[in-house]
């Protein structure tokens, strides 16, 4: 089959490899190179780097609003367009070009967590399960019928980064299964999404990373996991602002003011929350690297004395 692949971040790379395994990838679409790092030099997307390693043609239009951009896609004569975290909403005029339309690999069990950040929102909400859906794309935001899906359990201590990697691999597997069926002439049956259970995974914002000690400890622990490695939760501990890499919720009964240090020791720093306490195990000072709570306390003698 002649496949056009569209994707941008690391999550899409395993799916590109799966698409290229037994099919002809005639072009790879990805977002234009963007300035990154302190030097603000143009950086290639992970998908572009993978495509260049494989010698695949790369296309980087800003969008498909122009007739020229749509005509360039049409001239590729694609049987199918595979879209994985591309970063653009495709108009109907683009969805109609490939013979079999456009397939999307989405990192949630639709209709739960449609939108930009399904992995992090699932952990933040305390979901026990996640998964991947291979979806036939339509004009709405992740509203298309599901072709194939596969679920997995979210680990109790699993971070957003860890779940991201597992779902990226699972997405490639589900895509490979769908492509195999299509090559064999058995097009996957599209199942409309149910109307019940729709939730939206809004894009992550750095402003959300601030921990509010008035919230229950389990909610804060979920946020710490979800926002690792980005945007990474941050909080103030006894007057110092730090980034929190690892923490667990404790069902402690207390009457302390939220944000107060209840105890500080080798196992962690226990902070009073609106309900329970959050034990911070791994944290990062401004300009430093991630360290254990025990190492942090070596430089905070005031907390060591307070305990």
Annotated binding site for (6S)-5,6,7,8-tetrahydrofolate: 108-111
Contact criterion met (CB below 8 Å) for 227 and 233: yes
Instruction: Evaluate the CA torsion angle 206, 207, 212, 215 in order and state its sign.
Output: negative
| Binding site per annotation, positions | 108-111
Quick one: angle between helices 46-53 and 13-21, nearest 10? 30
What's the chain's length in residues?
307
Spatial separation of the C-alpha atoms in residues 15 and 12, rounded to whole Å: 5
Spatial separation of the C-alpha atoms in residues 210 and 235, rounded to whole Å: 6
Reading the block at residue 156, the tokens are 């109790």
Task: Count Cα neighbours of 85 within 13 Å in the Cβ-side half-sphere.
Answer: 25
58 strand-pairing partners:
28
H/E/C letters for each residue in 170-227? HHHHHHHHHHHHHHCCCCCCCECCCCCCCCEECCCCHHHHECCCCCEHHHHHHHHHHC
* Residue 25 three-state SS: strand
Spatial separation of the C-alpha atoms in residues 190 and 16, rounded to whole Å: 22
Q: How far is CA 24 from the centre of its chain?
A: 28
Reading the block at residue 260, the tokens are 């107060």
């Amino acid at each position: 089959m002649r496949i056009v692949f569209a994707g941008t971040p690391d999550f899409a790379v395993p799916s590109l490899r799966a698409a290229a395994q037994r099919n002809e990838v005639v072009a790879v679409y990805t977002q234009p190179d963007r300035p990154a790092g302190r030097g603000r030099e143009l950086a290639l997307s992970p998908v572009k780097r993978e495509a260049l390693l494989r010698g695949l043609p790369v296309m980087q239009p800003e969008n498909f609003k122009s007739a020229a951009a749509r005509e360039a896609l049409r001239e590729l004569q694609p049987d199918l367009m595979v879209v994985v975290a591309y970063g653009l909403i495709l108009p109907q005029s683009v969805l109609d070009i490939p013979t079999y339309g456009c397939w999307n690999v989405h990192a949630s069990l639709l209709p739960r967590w449609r939108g930009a950040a399904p992995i992090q929102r699932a952990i933040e909400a305390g979901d026990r399960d996640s998964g991947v859906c291979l979806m036939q794309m339509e004009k709405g935001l992740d509203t298309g019928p599901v072709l194939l899906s596969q679920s997995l359990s979210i680990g109790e201590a699993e971070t957003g980064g860890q779940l991201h990697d597992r779902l990226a691999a699972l997405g490639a597997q589900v895509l490979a299964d769908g492509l195999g069926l299509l090559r064999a002439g058995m097009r996957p049956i599209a199942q409309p999404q149910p109307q019940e259970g729709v939730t939206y995974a809004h894009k992550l914002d750095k402003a959300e990373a601030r921990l509010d000690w008035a919230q229950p400890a389990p909610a804060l622990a979920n946020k710490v996991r979800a926002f690792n490695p980005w945007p990474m939760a941050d909080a103030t501990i006894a007057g110092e602002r730090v980034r929190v890499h690892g923490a667990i919720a404790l069902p402690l009964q207390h009457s302390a003011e939220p944000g107060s240090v209840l105890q500080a020791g080798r196992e962690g720093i226990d902070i009073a929350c609106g309900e329970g306490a959050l034990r911070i195990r791994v944290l990062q000072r401004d300009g430093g690297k991630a360290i254990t709570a025990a190492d942090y306390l070596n430089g905070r003698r005031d907390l060591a004395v307070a305990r």
